[in-house]
């Protein structure tokens, strides 16, 4: 079954999160899978088992306790966020294969801009020379996924210093425009969608 890609623009985090929950609760075996692409106003999001001590000082930025996996992270303008509303049962896939496809989509997207990125054992996400450039966090219930990933494109990285990103003290954070000056969100989004479609097709054929 084909995948619908929705471009939401800049949207409130909590409203989008609750919309994902509603979509997932109401979908059935025939509901088309969707990808929601968006940006968020500044917000810290804390995973289900996130430890409060990793929020050092929010400096007035909203902190939202969510139902995704992982620890605390930051979302803000200039970051590409992609939410994966997929039926893994229908794909005959599991969480591990899905995460692998998400990570490889990010690695291949960054390669389009001449950036060599890697996975890091024991530390989910995508890294460039030891610095984190993308984070992942999912919720999967009864084989249905929501939440997704965030790729730093051209944003103010300062708020990452207000937390221990993803629970790691002193973790370096980078972004595409720091590595390839002049990179534009639209070009990154287009490359991401193309790579995602390829990896989605591979999952469907597996």
Task: Find the distance separating the first CA and the last CA of the chain, reported in whole Å.
Answer: 14
Catalytic residue list contains 100? no
State residue 205's pLDDT score. 74
Q: Using one digit for the tens of pLDDT, what is the confidence trace for 164-198?
A: 998 989 899 999 999 999 999 999 999 999 999 99
DSSP 8-state code for residue 96:
H
Tokens of 43: 């917000």
State residue 32's pLDDT score. 96
Q: Using one digit for the tens of pLDDT, what is the confidence trace for 76-123?
A: 999 999 999 999 999 998 999 999 999 999 999 999 999 999 999 878
Q: Using one digit for the tens of pLDDT, what is the confidence trace for 32-82?
A: 999 999 999 999 999 998 999 999 999 999 999 999 998 999 999 999 999
When the candidates are 1.20.1600.10, 3.40.50.300, 3.30.930.10, 3.30.365.10, the CATH number that belongs to 3-205 is 3.30.930.10
CB burial readout 104-137, b (16+ within 10 A) else e: bbbbbbbeebebebebeeeebbbbbeeebbbbbb
């Amino acid at each position: 079954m084909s995948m619908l890609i929705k471009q939401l623009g800049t949207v409130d985090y909590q409203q989008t999160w609750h919309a994902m929950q509603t979509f997932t609760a109401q979908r059935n075996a025939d509901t088309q899978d969707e990808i929601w692409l968006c940006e968020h106003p500044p917000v810290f999001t804390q995973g289900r088992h996130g430890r409060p001590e990793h929020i050092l000082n929010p400096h007035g930025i909203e902190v939202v306790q969510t139902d995704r996996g992982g620890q605390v992270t930051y979302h803000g303008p200039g970051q590409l966020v992609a939410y994966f509303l997929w039926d893994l049962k229908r794909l005959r896939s599991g969480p591990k294969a899905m995460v692998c496809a998400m990570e490889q989509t990010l690695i291949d997207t960054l390669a389009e801009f001449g950036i060599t990125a890697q996975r890091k054992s024991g530390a989910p996400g995508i890294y460039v020379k030891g610095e984190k450039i993308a984070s992942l966090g999912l919720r999967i219930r009864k084989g249905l996924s929501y939440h997704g990933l965030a790729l730093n494109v051209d944003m103010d990285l300062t708020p990452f210093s207000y937390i221990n990103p993803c629970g790691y003290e002193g973790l370096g954070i980078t972004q595409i425009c720091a590595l390839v000056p002049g990179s534009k969100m639209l070009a990154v989004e287009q490359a991401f969608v193309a790579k995602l479609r390829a990896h989605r097709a591979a999952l469907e054929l597996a």
